[in-house]
A = this chain, B = another copy of it.
Amino acid sequence: MKQLIFLFSILISLNLSAQTDADNIKKIYSNSLTNGKSYEWLDHLSTQIGSRLSGSLGAERAVEYTKEELEKLGLDKVWLQPVMVPKWVRGAPEFAYIETSPGVTTPINICALGGSIATPNGGVKAHVIEVKSLAELATLGEAIIKGKIVFYNRPMQADLINTFEAYGGCVDQRYAGAMEAGKYGAVGVIVRSMNLRMDDFPHTGSMSYGDLPNSQRIPSAAISTNHAELLSGMLALDKKINVFFSQNCQQLKDVQSYNVIGEITGSEFPNEYIVVGGHLDSWDLGDGSHDDGAGVVQSMDVLRLLKESGIKPKRSIRVVLFMNEENGLRGGNKYAEVAKAKGENHIFALESDSGGFTPRGFSFDCNDAVFNKVMQWESLFKPYLIHYFEKGHGGADIGPLKNGTTVLAGLVPDSQRYFDYHHASNDTFDAVNKRELELGAATMTALVYLFDKYGIGTISNKEELKD
């Protein structure tokens, strides 16, 4: 009988606990949708401050602004974590055209890739070799490539459902295209924008020369998808056409910048840390509303929503707004380095860096035991149409925290529209929907709430008890 009562009381307490979780999560979503701050913060970050490339005035203003806003929330601590960042500047606008015969030109929309060198004064003009891959380039060799502009034109694969997979299948052209073409004596590189849509926006993004000597470094630019098709079509008619492009970008000396950090100190386990974050820097085109203004304001709102919903975290919850994800990852590396030096025990880190679209779920970088336990929370998310719980990538900025223990996760929003805006001048505030952004903030908060409440130590212990 005693055992029965014991069992009964356990069942009741389990049920009450589930009830409380469901209630608290409902409160979180409701607060975010009726009383969220994320959209207002994003409006300021995007519309008042604008683009935030590392080392730019916008980046520094974003540091100040988000620090001030976090201070208004009455967190236990807010501070700046110094980090030196690279400073690449675009300079005077790019200019490019196709020349079909002397003096007969058609302008094309290009933008310098981040990290690229400038063209020589007066630009570069040359015949064009179109290739679909780095492998195809290698088969052509120096005899054909030397003195030419290499045009990488492999499109993103449209029939992949996850557009990040399509991006992953193409981005080698952008990142390593100039490095490889430079080895064969090309004079410049034009890369089809990483965009699934046909439009007129060139999309920038990081590229690298690796260890290439300066003599082999060549300028590289992205071309809009519409103009990639145009150029390809014109080349099919006449291989002898020229492309001219001029760009004025340069890499300056590293400058001082900061990660912005706010913390609610845990009431029971203050030395267990949970991080939620996005990156404060953006590319210089557009205002970085989706990439990653959305992740920044959602992460800020996680701490506010916890407070607002009357939840007192047991563990220390930190929002970290990382600097320099786009062209260096210095902020992510710095945060992990300091955490390690201080011996801080990070149990969980969650990043939002896939756009402010309707959230679908999370990808988890963790072991099976933790993942199986997370899956037990799945039903708590069902009322909010959060259904995607898969193992996968956490996020670039939180990546350096990976140590075999810390659970990493990434918010997974609907990805269909993301590459319409990614790194382009149309990544602006009007492309973000308020409710979608707020649903994302609530979804992150709910997961942080569960990790805070149950920890990963508890999860592992339970798992062991069961075995």
Interface, chain A (partner B; CB < 8 A): 29-30, 33-34, 158-159, 161, 163, 196-197, 358, 360, 383-385, 387-388, 414, 416-417, 420, 433-436, 439
Contact = CB atoms under 8 A, between A and B. Distances in A.
Contacts of A163: 435
Contact of A414 (B158, B161, B358): B358
Given A161-B385, A163-B435, A420-B433, 17 more contacts: A33-B158, A34-B159, A158-B435, A161-B383, A161-B439, A197-B434, A197-B435, A358-B358, A358-B416, A360-B385, A385-B387, A387-B388, A416-B435, A416-B436, A416-B439, A417-B433, A417-B436
30 contacts: A29-B159, A29-B161, A30-B159, A33-B158, A34-B158, A34-B159, A158-B435, A161-B384, A161-B385, A161-B439, A163-B435, A196-B435, A197-B433, A197-B434, A197-B435, A358-B358, A358-B414, A358-B416, A360-B385, A385-B387, A385-B388, A387-B387, A414-B414, A416-B433, A416-B435, A416-B436, A416-B439, A417-B435, A417-B436, A420-B433
A464 B217 CA distance: 72
Contacts of A158: 33-34, 435
A198 B17 CA distance: 38
Contacts of A30: 159
A92 to B, nearest CB: 31
Contact of A159 (B33, B159, B420, B434): B33
A385 to B, nearest CB: 6
Nearest to A438: B158
A282 to B, nearest CB: 22
A243 B142 CA distance: 77
A387 B384 CA distance: 12
A30 B435 CA distance: 30
Nearest to A435: B416
A29 to B, nearest CB: 7
Contacts of A159: 29-30, 33-34
A163 B435 CA distance: 10
Contacts of A385: 161, 360, 387-388
